[in-house]
Amino acid sequence: MNEVELLGTAPRARPYFGWRIVLALFLCTLALFGVSIYSFIVLAHPLGAEYGWSATQTGAAVSAMWFAAPMALLSGPLIRRFNPWHIIFAGLLMQAAGFAMLPLISSIESLYLLRLMMGIGKVTLVIAVPIIVTRWFSRRFATAMAIIWAGGSAGGFIMAPATDALLQAFGWRTAAAVIAAAMVAVVILIALLARGPSSPAALGLAPDGVPPSAGDGAPRGSVPEDAAALDWRAALGHVRLWVAIPMLLSVMGIGMASIAVLTQEQLVLESAGIASSLAATFLGLTAVGSLTGSASIGLLLDRAPARWSGLLIASAIFVGLLAFAGIQTNGSAGLALIAAISCGYAFGAGEVLWITLTKRQFGTAAFAMTYGGWYFALQIGYAAGGGVAGWGYERFGAMGFIGLVAIMYLPAALFSLTLRGARIQPGKES
């Protein structure tokens, strides 16, 4: 009789290692988006002021990362050739290198090239994240991705004020150097967190941490480590163009709508008589809504057919847009709060919904390729949304702009209700 039997207690089960992977990837997105977008935006103004660059030039430098969007279409070959974790570490180190080299930049053309390099690191990192998640999760894939994706919004909350504090205390050059060093430290921390088994099969488990089905030679529903090495023709066999093309157009619309709201929200609120400082606060609350949406929608996606998530998200975006329209007549701060939170929730939750729908529609085997297409479409939407939004606001005013955003999001709202997206049943890949 062993000690456990004598004491009458069972050994405590260890937490599933997959959730440690989720924590590591959460830190990846927090660092990536917090630094590459929010920290850079904070430093761009003093950088431009020192060298005499216009707001248009520095704004274009912020957007220059999106010219790396075609890299997303190379996701399949990259994942087949390289370890996804190596891609992630390379992407983070490229952000660190970008900030380390920032004090050496003296021309706007050099800054554009630097941002393009950072964009390549960003895109390659983002396409590797869900590939790792598919190894560890099946039925809980949406929940895991929702937590990880929330890291991007959390990065904004942390890095924007932190970067501003560094800027005020030390100037932009030292701030950039400190951020670069911090990124290297984060890479080391993430590597330590991710160190361990490379898949559930190494632990004798199936994805989600459940025991393998009796009689199976491998955990049921597991994703072999070389799944990304599938032949391109086999992967293409999973993709139906009559479904893929409307999905890509829907995702472009989501990207355009979200960037349109973020770039013009302050102007829309100020045009209704809301003070600029209060309008800036509501813009920050849009990010709060986005964090809430991306962090929470996975629970619903994993427990109910995806059309219910689609309906919730569509309701949130149109409630938010109606609130924006109502503000134009009475300048209500209460409506502004509803508009900011509702639209932010829809944008954050919508990205997680469409990542999940992409995986469920075309399967795990083709996911490295189909996710690359998804991310490429989203980046195209981001790149186009700002310019279209500015044109719409100048040409049609606040109410016309609100209607234009509604049109941008309408294909995604309608198509998400028609796609096959039932929850994953035990032992099946939906």
* pLDDT computed for residue 401 by the predictor: 87
Q: In CATH, what class is 230-415? A: mainly alpha
Report pLDDT digits (tens) over 88-106: 999 999 999 999 999 998 8
User: pLDDT by residue for the chain (430 residues), tens digit each?
Assistant: 454 444 445 455 678 999 999 999 999 999 998 898 878 877 887 888 898 887 667 767 777 777 777 777 776 677 778 899 999 999 999 999 999 999 998 888 899 899 899 989 988 888 889 889 989 998 888 889 889 988 887 887 788 788 888 988 999 999 999 999 999 999 999 999 999 998 898 888 888 888 886 434 444 444 444 444 444 455 555 567 777 888 889 999 998 888 788 777 777 888 888 886 677 677 778 878 888 888 888 888 888 888 899 999 999 999 999 999 999 888 788 899 999 899 989 988 998 898 888 888 777 777 777 777 888 888 888 777 777 777 888 788 889 889 999 999 999 988 888 875 444 443 444 3
The hierarchical CATH code for the domain 17-200 is 1.20.1250.20
Dihedral, CA of residue 90, residue 136, residue 430 and residue 418, to nearest 10: -50
Report pLDDT digits (tens) over 151-209: 887 887 788 788 888 988 999 999 999 999 999 999 999 999 999 998 898 888 888 88
The domain limits of the chain are 17-200, 230-415
Q: How many CB atoms within 10 Å of residue 81?
A: 11
Residue type for 74, please?
L
* pLDDT computed for residue 322 by the predictor: 94
Question: Are 424 and 360 a contacting pair, CB within 8 Å?
Answer: yes
Q: Map the chain to HEC letters.
A: CCHHHHHCCCCCCCCCHHHHHHHHHHHHHHHHHHHHHHHHHHHHHHHHHHHCCCHHHHHHHHHHHHHHHHHHHHHHHHHHHCCHHHHHHHHHHHHHHHHHHHHHCCCHHHHHHHHHHHHHHHHHHHHHHHHHHHHHCCCCHHHHHHHHHHHHHHHHHHHHHHHHHHHHHHCHHHHHHHHHHHHHHHHHHHHHHHCCCCCHHHHCCCHHHCCCCCCCCCCCCCCCCCHHHCCHHHHHCCCCHHHHHHHHHHHHHHHHHHHHHHHHHHHHHHHCCCCHHHHHHHHHHHHHHHHHHHHHHHHHHCCCCHHHHHHHHHHHHHHHHHHHHHHHHHCCHHHHHHHHHHHHHHHHHHHHHHHHHHHHHHCCCCHHHHHHHHHHHHHHHHHHHHHHHHHHHHHHHHHHHHHHHHHHHHHHHHHCCCCCCCCCCCCCCC
Q: How many CB atoms within 10 Å of residue 177?
A: 16
Only one residue has tokens 């991306």, namely: 294
* pLDDT computed for residue 420 by the predictor: 57
* pLDDT computed for residue 426 by the predictor: 39
Query: 408: closest CA among 327, 338, 318, 290?
Result: 318
The answer to whether 17-200 and 230-415 have equal CATH topology is yes
* pLDDT computed for residue 425 by the predictor: 41
